């Protein structure tokens, strides 16, 4: 009787834990579905104006870029300090079409989805080329190679007359099934386009990590010699990690060009590369949801710092120029604090909550 009692008790605990796991799975799906519906629906009910929509568009473009950076740095373990250059490659691909065909050409205005895909493929090609040193280099030396590409990109854009020597190259307005997208609907239209791109690329990464190609990235990151012994090719894996990151960055750059209706050099400097890396670190390297939390946190921090600078500027002397000093100070401080106290990023907070829910109320 006692043995049957303990068996029934053990079966109860097992079924209880299984119900907890099913509940968490359904909870993740429900939360994701709720936020997805909310993101698609809220512009229909709330008019936040062009300024706020512009900020949201920039935020989602950064999410696309950081998802690519997370593939190469978070999942493959390769440091890339020139990610803004890959974003610039995608933007200047659109600009190249505008320079050669004109800003009002049908390829730019009507077949813009094809232009975005082509920009991603061009970024993937440059990413694979920059990733070739990964056959021989690793760690700091590979990071210096990506930094060299950033410097070369900046020099080419600044000195080539074809790219207007870094000055703005204008991009024409696009057309949709309802006609040409006007000035008032510009940011809202691109909000939905970028949101669809974010959802598709997010599902793409999630499914990639379930395949052998995604597991190769993680295996090479953890131990490239062990991965080589298991039949994987570490060099080729690193190259296609850079190619994937370049594709995401190229798509982000093309979206940036269309949203801004122009391409300028200032958006793809080394400072932007460091910003993308900071977003990946703050959000959580090697996690898909970290690619969302990082840009949200950094962009929100920038907005709050600007507001604080405006308020403080009313009470402090104008010669102090607080806005110039406060923004880089808070930016560096946040990165240092996360590296010291939460190296896994904001995504780790959700993981802790889920782990506690799995264990509660038991301790095993």
- Residues 14-45: tens digit of each pLDDT: 554 555 555 445 545 555 565 566 666 666 66
pLDDT for 32:
54
Query: What integer pLDDT is reported at residue 21 of this predicted model?
Result: 53
What is the predicted pLDDT for the residue at 137? Answer: 72
Helix (H, G, I), strand (E, B) or coil at 197: helix
Is position 323 within any domain? Answer: no
Q: What angle do CA 123, 272, 242 make, to 5 degrees?
A: 30
145-162 pLDDT, tens digit each: 888 889 999 899 888 888
Average pLDDT, the chain: 79
Is residue 326 included in any domain, yes or no?
A: no
Q: Where are the alpha helices (DSSP H) in 47-171?
A: 49-69, 83-101, 106-109, 112-131, 140-159
The predicted structure's pLDDT at residue 50: 76
Within a domain: 278: no
Residue 167 belongs to a domain: yes
- Does any domain span residue 355? no
- Residue 134 has a pLDDT of 75
pLDDT of residue 34: 54
77 φ, ψ (degrees, to nearest 5): 75, 25
Residue 175 confidence (pLDDT): 83
CA–CA separation, 211 and 227 (whole Å): 15
Number of Cα atoms under 13 Å in the Cβ half of residue 312: 15
The more confidently predicted of residues 13 and 171 is 171
Examine residue 8 and state whether it is found in any structural domain, yes or no: no
Would residue 249 count as lying in a domain? yes
Q: Which domain holds residue 64?
A: 27-269
pLDDT in tens, 95-137: 999 888 888 888 888 888 899 999 999 999 999 998 888 777 7
**What pLDDT does residue 215 have?**
85
- pLDDT at residue 249, rounded to an integer: 93
Confidence band for 5, pLDDT divided at 50, 70 and 90: very low
The pLDDT score that the predictor gives to residue 261 is: 87
Give SS3 for 263.
strand
User: For the segment 47-99, what is each residue's pLDDT rounded down to a tens digit?
Assistant: 667 788 888 889 889 999 999 999 898 888 888 888 899 999 999 999 999 88
Residue 328 lies in a domain: no
pLDDT at 349: 80
Sign of the torsion angle spanned by Cα atoms 92, 181, 112, 277: positive
Residue 177 scores a pLDDT above 50: yes
Q: Tell me how many domains the chain contains.
A: 1
Is the pLDDT reported for residue 230 higher than 60? yes
């Amino acid at each position: 009787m006692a043995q049957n009692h303990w068996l029934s008790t053990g079966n109860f605990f097992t079924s209880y834990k299984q119900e907890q796991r099913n509940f968490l799975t359904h909870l993740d799906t429900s939360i994701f579905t709720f936020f997805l519906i909310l993101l698609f629906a809220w512009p229909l009910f709330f008019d936040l104006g062009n300024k706020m929509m512009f900020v949201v568009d920039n935020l989602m473009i950064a999410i696309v870029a950081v998802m690519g950076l997370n593939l190469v740095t978070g999942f493959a373990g390769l440091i890339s300090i020139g990610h803004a250059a890959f974003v610039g490659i995608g933007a200047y691909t659109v600009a190249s079409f505008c320079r050669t065909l004109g800003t009002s050409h049908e390829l730019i205005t009507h077949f813009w989805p094809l232009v975005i895909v082509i920009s991603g493929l061009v970024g993937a090609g440059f990413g694979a080329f920059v990733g070739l040193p990964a056959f021989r280099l690793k760690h700091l030396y590979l990071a210096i190679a990506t930094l060299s590409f950033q410097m070369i990109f900046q020099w080419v854009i600044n000195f080539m007359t074809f790219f207007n020597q870094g000055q703005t190259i204008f991009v024409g307005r696009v057309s949709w099934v309802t006609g040409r997208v006007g000035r008032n609907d510009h940011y809202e239209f691109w909000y939905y386009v970028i949101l669809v791109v974010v959802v598709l690329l997010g599902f793409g990464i999630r499914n990639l990590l379930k395949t052998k190609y995604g597991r190769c990235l993680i295996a090479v990151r953890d131990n490239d010699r062990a991965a080589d012994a298991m039949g994987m090719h570490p060099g080729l894996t690193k190259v296609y990690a850079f190619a994937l990151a370049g594709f995401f960055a190229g798509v982000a750059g093309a979206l940036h060009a269309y949203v801004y209706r122009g391409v300028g050099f200032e958006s793809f400097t080394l400072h932007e590369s460091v910003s993308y890396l900071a977003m990946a670190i703050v959000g959580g390297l090697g996690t898909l949801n970290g690619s969302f939390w990082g840009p949200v946190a950094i962009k929100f921090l920038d907005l709050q710092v600007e507001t604080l600078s405006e308020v403080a500027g009313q009470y402090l002397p104008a010669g102090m120029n607080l806005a110039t000093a406060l923004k880089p100070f808070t930016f560096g401080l946040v990165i240092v604090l996360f590296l010291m106290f939460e190296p896994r990023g904001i995504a780790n907070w959700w993981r802790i909550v889920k782990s506690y829910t799995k264990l509660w109320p038991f301790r095993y």
